[in-house]
């Protein structure tokens, strides 16, 4: 017979631990290509998702979606550990390869030999290229039916109603990105930038996006970004920065990388929730597991990133009360690495 204490413990919900891998078996589909005739380009995707065939009672009926945008010169191979972590917890995760990818530019014959950092950036982040990255993410959202049909596990059930959607929930979409991908994430979240054509600020927001994780992002020292650039963002955001986060390209500092949080309105000012995770000792690549320190230090940083981003998407794509409580209180994150991070919300 159970004691009263044991019975109460059994009735309690399990502790919310967003840094822990989820119950789902993860399947990765390495290459799906979307043809964009309007821009005369092919967009290569990698898709990770929880495999419903292996998960039994854990298999979710409808899956929230996270789109990931890589850094300048990167590819859809970026952040595989974080992507797998999200998928294990019940998200579909789609990575695309943007046009600035070194991998793709070599394939197209645009690059021969070794590249210096300045060569990597030259011409790849002008306004058209920056907006083109946003258009890549919008294309994915426009073509979810096609992506589902290409993956049997995500496709509509055989014999279902004509036009029925597959496993991806169109109403629960989040975006995350690192470095140049953080810029892409901010733009699609509602960051306004001043251009020659739009002195008052242009917006490239997409209302289908419900939450955004900005990893190693940009501040007011970027062309076109002013202190009021974040004023129209209407969705919850998480900003992740590091004390040693200075890239070879650009003039961002650990201070400016906090600006998406510093200049966000926050709830008290009538805006959406905003939070900041500032990691002591983290370099530009540390968030992706490329930390120059010890393996233990690397693990703490990647666990922080996994926990904070997972809680963001659980809270705002799933309306998970435990995730909301986790984001509201730094205690859960402190349990990962003590004083190795500073966490703020507003």
Tally of CB atoms within 10 A around 147: 22
Dist CA 44 CA 30 (whole Å): 9
Looking up tokens 């799933």, which residue turns up? Answer: 318
Nearest Cα to Cα of residue 17 among 229, 311, 241:
311
Nearest Cα to Cα of residue 17 among 333, 341, 343:
333
State pTM to two decimals: 0.91
17-345: which CATH topology?
Rossmann fold (3.40.50)
Classified as helix, coil or strand, 96 is strand
Dist CA 77 CA 88 (whole Å): 17
pLDDT in tens, the chain (346 residues): 456 544 444 444 568 999 999 999 999 999 999 999 999 999 999 999 998 765 555 455 689 999 999 999 899 999 999 999 999 999 999 999 999 878 777 776 666 666 555 566 666 678 899 999 999 999 999 999 999 999 999 998 776 565 567 899 999 999 999 999 999 999 999 999 988 777 778 999 999 999 999 999 999 987 789 999 999 999 999 999 999 999 877 789 999 999 999 999 999 999 999 999 999 999 999 999 999 989 999 999 999 999 999 999 999 999 999 999 999 988 888 889 888 899 999 9
CA angle (132 as vertex; 238, 167 as ends), nearest 5? 60
- For residues 256 and 242, the answer to whether their CB atoms sit within 8 Å is no
């Amino acid at each position: 017979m159970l004691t009263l204490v044991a019975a109460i413990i059994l009735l309690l919900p399990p502790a919310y631990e967003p840094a822990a891998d989820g119950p789902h078996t993860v399947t990765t589909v390495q290459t799906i290509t979307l043809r964009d005739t309007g821009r005369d380009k092919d967009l290569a995707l990698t898709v990770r998702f929880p495999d419903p065939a292996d998960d039994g009672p854990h298999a979710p009926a409808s899956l929230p979606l996270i789109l990931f945008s890589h850094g300048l010169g990167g590819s859809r191979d970026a952040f595989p550990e974080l992507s797998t972590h999200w998928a294990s917890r019940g998200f579909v995760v789609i990575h695309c390869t943007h046009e600035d990818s070194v991998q793709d530019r070599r394939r197209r014959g645009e690059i021969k030999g070794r590249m210096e950092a300045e060569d990597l950036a030259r011409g790849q982040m002008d306004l058209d290229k920056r907006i083109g990255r946003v258009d890549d993410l919008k294309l994915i959202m426009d073509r979810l039916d096609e992506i589902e049909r290409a993956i049997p596990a995500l496709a509509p059930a055989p014999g279902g109603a004509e036009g029925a959607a597959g496993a991806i929930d169109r109403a629960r979409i989040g975006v995350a990105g690192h470095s140049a991908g953080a810029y892409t994430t901010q733009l699609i979240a509602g960051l306004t930038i001043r251009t020659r054509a739009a002195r008052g600020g242009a917006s490239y927001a997409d209302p289908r996006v419900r939450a955004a994780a900005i990893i190693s992002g940009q501040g007011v020292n970027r062309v076109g970004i002013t202190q009021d650039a974040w004023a129209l963002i209407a969705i919850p955001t998480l900003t992740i920065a590091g004390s040693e986060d200075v890239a070879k390209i650009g003039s961002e500092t650990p201070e400016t990388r906090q600006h998406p949080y510093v200049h966000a309105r926050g709830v008290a000012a009538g805006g959406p929730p905003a939070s900041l995770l500032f990691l002591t000792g983290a370099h530009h690549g540390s968030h992706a597991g490329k930390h120059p320190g010890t393996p233990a230090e690397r693990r703490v940083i990647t666990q922080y990133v996994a926990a904070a981003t997972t809680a963001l998407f659980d809270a705002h794509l799933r309306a998970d009360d435990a995730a909301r409580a986790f984001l509201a209180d730094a205690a859960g994150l402190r349990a990962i690495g003590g004083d190795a991070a500073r966490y703020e919300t507003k």
